[in-house]
Amino acid sequence: MRVIIASTSVPHIDGGGRLIARWTAEAMRDAGHEVEEFYLPFPTEPRPSLAAMVGLRATPFAGSGDRLIAIRWPAHVLRHENKATWFIHHYRQLFDLWDSPYRGVPANAEGIAYREALRRIDNQGLGESRDVFTNSLIVRDRVRTYNGLDPEPLFPPIGGDISRFHTDCYGDFIFYPSRITPIKRQFLAVQAMRYTKTPVRLVIAGKPDSALFGKEIRDYIREYSLQDRVDLLGWLHEDVKVDLLSRCLALAYLPLDEDSYGYPSLEASHSAKPIVTLSDSGGALEFVRDGQEGLIAEPNPRNLALAFDRLYEDKEEAERMGTQSYARRAELKIAWPHVINRLLGEDQ
Amino acid sequence: MKVAMVMPMAPESAIADVMSQAIPGLRSNWDLEIWCPTEESYRSCSVPLRPYAEANTDVVNALAAFDLVVYVLGDSPWHSRILPLAHSLPGLVVLHDASLTNLVRFVAIEGNDLEALVERVELERGPELAGILRSASPPGGAAEWLRFCAEVPLDDVAAEGSLGAVVHSVWHARRVDGLTLGHVTVAPLPVPSPHIGFESNERASSSALISELPDDALLLVTVGAANANRRIDLLLEAIAKDPVLTENVHLWAVGPATEDARAELGGLARTLGLQNQFAMTGRVTDSLLQEILARADIAAALRDPVLEGQSASVLTQLISGTPVVVFDHAHYAELPDDVAIKVDPQDALEGVRVALRILVDDGADRGRRGDRAREYVRESRSGAKYAEALLEAGELALAAKPIAYLNADLGSRLRRLGLNREPMFVNAVTDLAFDLFDLG
C-alpha cells in the first residue's frame, strides 16, 4: 500500500511525537509498504497555531497515496479521502492542562474561545477520519470527554532494532532517561535521594529543556551533598543508554499526568527492568501495575525514596517485576504487526 | 479584567453623558480607566481619567496592556482622535450613529488617506458615490449629503477588525451584522441626563417664548438640530392642511439651526400662514429644555433619512411624559405602539396630520400615552441596564480575540506575500478559515 505518514514537528525538538511517526514509517516499510513521511512545522503557541492551521489544511495531500496516517496534533486537519488519525494528544494546555499552570491562555472568555475553536477543529479532523486511534487509554478517554468520539486504543511499540536491548544485571542504581523538564519531575527523583536509607544511586540522563531547570537540579544536588548518589549525565548516545538500561536496578519514569506510558517504559520492558512511577503519572499506569511490572509511589520524595529502597533491598523482587515488565507488552498487543494492520484499516 | 474605555469626556458631549451613566455599573465589574482626547475641561469621572493629545503609537502601546479596549464612536469630531486607535488596536466599538460618514471621511483626510477611502467606495459603490465622498458637496446640498450619509454610512470602515459592536437598536444591529469579527450587542441607551452641560449659551428670547405662549395652545415640539432630515417642513405642512391643527397647535423646533434653515423654514411658515405659531428656539440650556418639555403636549421625531442608531432626544421627550409622533421605520419602529404614534413614511403628510389630530382631539389619550411613555422609559432604560449590556458585550468581545488574531495573522501573511489583492488566494484562504473556524 502507498502510505503517507504526516505529522507535525517543532524544528530541532526531538521527542516522542517525532519518534512514533518515524518508527511507524520504518515498521511499515519493513512490512513491504511504500511509505513517505512528512513532518510539517507547527508552532507551539495558541495564537500562531490558528493561522498555521489554515496553512496545514491547505496542504495538498488529497489524491496522493492510498492511505494517510495523521499522527501528531493537529495533523488530523490534513485533508485526504482515506485518512486515519493516530491521536496522541490534544492541544493539552487548553484541555486537560486547563486547570494547571501550563494553560497558556487567559482563564476568561478569550481562553474559552481558543478552546472551543480547537475543540471544533478536532471534531472536524477526527470526524472526517476513516479510523481514529489513540496511543493510550487516557487519550482515548479524553477524546471521549472532549470530542464525544470513541476511538480505539493502539499502543505504540518502540522502533528500530529492538535486539539491542538486553539484561546484564540488576545493579545498584535507578536510571531515569528522559528529556529533562519540570513536567517529567526529575527534580522529585533527586529530592527522594535525600530520604533513601540504602546505598541506592540515581542516574539521570537527558537534555534539559531549559538551562534554568538543569541548574536548579545541579544546585539542589550540591546543596544537599548528593554528588556521590546522583549522576547527571546529559544527552546519551543510544549505545550508552542501552548499556545503562541493561545494568540498572530499575527505571524511573515520573511524568505528571502524561498521555501515554512513554518510550522509557518500553525500553525498560525490553531490558526486563521494573519501572518506578507515580500515582499521578498518567499513561505509565496503563503499563505498570503496582508490585507487578514495578512500583507506583505517591508523588512525594519520601514515598518515592521508599520505592527506591525497596527495590535495592530485594533484588529478587526487582528481577521478578522486570520479567513481568518484559511480558506486559504482549498482553497489551504492543507489537508492530498488530499496529500496522490496524493503522492500515485491516482486521484486528 | 482591565478595561480601557476610550470616549469623549467634554462636558458638552451628549455621548459622554450617556456613556458616563454606565460607569458605576462597569467599575464594579471591570478594573476600568477612561481614556479621552484632551479637551479644555472634562466631566467628572469616578474612575481614573487618562487624557491623550494625539492618537499615536504611545497611546496604542499603553492601551495594548489592557485586556479589552472599548471605543465609543459617533459621527462627530469628538471622535476623530478615537477612530484611529480602534483601527490600530482592535477592541469593542460602541456605535452611537448608524452613519459614520463624516467621522470616517474626516479621519481619512487627517491621515492623508482620503483617496484610498474614495477608491474603496468606488470599488464597492461606483464612481458617482465615490465622487460625492471626495467633494462632500453633492448637487442637492445639505439634504442630499444627508441622504448620501445614509446610503454610504462607512460603518464598515469604522468597525473593520473590531472584536464586536454595541448598538442601541435592533434595526442598527441588523445593519452592522457581519461588519465586525465578533458579536453585535443591542444595549438599551440610557436617557440623557437632565443636565448635560449646556448652561452657558442660553438664548433669552427662547426663555421668553414659554411665558408668551397662550395657555390653551397645544405645544408641539421637535428636539434636536434643525437638519434637513428632521422634517420640520412636513410638520408645518401637516398643521396648515388641517383647520383644527391650524387653530390649536404651536410648533417649536428646539435645537441649533443654521441661518439658512431659519430662513427657509421661517419662509415656509409665513407662506402657510403659521408665522405666529412657529418658533425656532436655537440651542437651549439644559434647564430651558426641561421647561419646554414640561410645557409640551406633543413631540415629533420625523427623521428621514435616519442617521443615528437610536434617538436620545426621543427618549428625553418620552421620559418627560410627552407622546411622540415618529415615522414607522428604522429604530423608531421599535417603540411600543402605545407609546408612539407611527406614521408610514410613504404617506407622510396625511399620516402626520392624522396622528396629530388623534393627539389633539383626545386629551385623555394623549395623557395615557404620555404616562405610558414615561413608564416605558423608566422600565427599560438606566445606566445600570446599559452597563449590564456593555459587560456582556465585553465578554463576547474577549471571545472574539482569537478570530481577530487569526484575521490579523492571515492578513499580514498575505500582504507579505503580495497576495492580499489577489482574489484567488484571498478566497482560498478565507474559505479554509471559514471552514475550520465556523465563521459562516
CB B294, CB B215: distance < 8 Å: no
What is the reported pLDDT for B199?
Answer: 52
pLDDT at position A188 is 97
Residue-level pLDDT at B195:
64
Q: What is the CATH number of the domain that holds A209?
A: 3.40.50.2000
Nearest CA of chain A to the CA of B394: how many Å?
Answer: 9
Contact (CB, 8 A) for B309 and B167? yes
Domain count, chain A: 2
CA distance to partner chain A, nearest, from residue B415 (Å): 14
pLDDT at B297: 96
Query: How far A50 CA sits from the closest chain B CA (Å)?
Result: 6
Q: What CATH number is given for B204-380 in this structure?
A: 3.40.50.2000
DSSP 8-state secondary structure symbol assigned to residue B227: -
**Domain ranges in chain B with CATH number 3.40.50.2000:** 204-380
What would the grid cell of residue B321 be? Answer: 411624559
User: Which residue of B1, B400, B409 is in closest CB contact with A108?
Assistant: B1
Q: Is residue A348 part of a domain?
A: no
Let me know: does B267 contact B295? Beta carbons within 8 Å. no
pLDDT at B325: 97
Nearest chain A residue to B433 by CA distance is A54
Report DSSP letters for B361-384, one per residue. Answer: H-HHHHHHHHHHHHHHHHHH--HH
Alpha helices in A41-108 (DSSP H): 46-58
A60 touches chain B (CB under 8 A): no
Which residue of B lies nearest to A49 if distances are taken between CA atoms? B406
Residues in chain A within 8 Å Cβ distance of B432? 54, 57-58
Q: Which three cell numbers stand for residue A313?
A: 533491598
CA-nearest residue to B408 within chain A is A51
**Is position A245 within any domain?**
yes
Do residues A178 and A191 share a domain? yes
Spell out, as residue ranges, where chain B has pLDDT lower than 50. Answer: 201-202
Say if residue A147 is in the same domain as residue A212.
Answer: no
Half-sphere exposure (CA, 13 Å, Cβ side) for B360?
23
Whether the pLDDT of residue A167 is over 80: the answer is yes
Give tens-digit pLDDT for A263-280.
999 999 999 999 999 999
CA dihedral (B28, B33, B34, B35) in degrees, to 10, reads: -160
> Is A110 in contact with B429 (Cβ distance < 8 A)?
no
- A190 and A56, same domain (yes or no): no
Domain boundaries, position A60: 2-155+333-343
Q: Say if the ipTM goes beyond 0.95.
A: no
- Name residues 113-132 of chain A within 8 A of B (Cβ): 113-114, 117, 120-121, 124
| Domain shared by A172 and A77, yes or no | no
Please indicate, yes or no, whether residues A25 and A145 belong to a single structural domain of this protein: yes
Q: Which of A189, A188, A194, A187 is nearest to A226 (CA)?
A: A194
The tens digit of pLDDT for each residue in A147-165 reads 999 999 999 999 988 999 9
B2-191+384-437 folds as: Rossmann fold (3.40.50)
A284 shares a domain with A201: yes
- The answer on A206 and A105 residing in a single domain is no
Asked whether residue A89 falls in the same domain as residue A173, the answer is no
Per mean pLDDT, which range of A97-106, A135-144, B214-223 is the poorest? Answer: A97-106
Do A145 and A166 fall into the same domain? Answer: no
Distance CA A243, CA B418 (A): 55
Q: How many secondary structure helices (H) and strands (E) does chain B include? A: 20, 13
pLDDT at position A14: 72
Averaged pLDDT, A74-81: 97
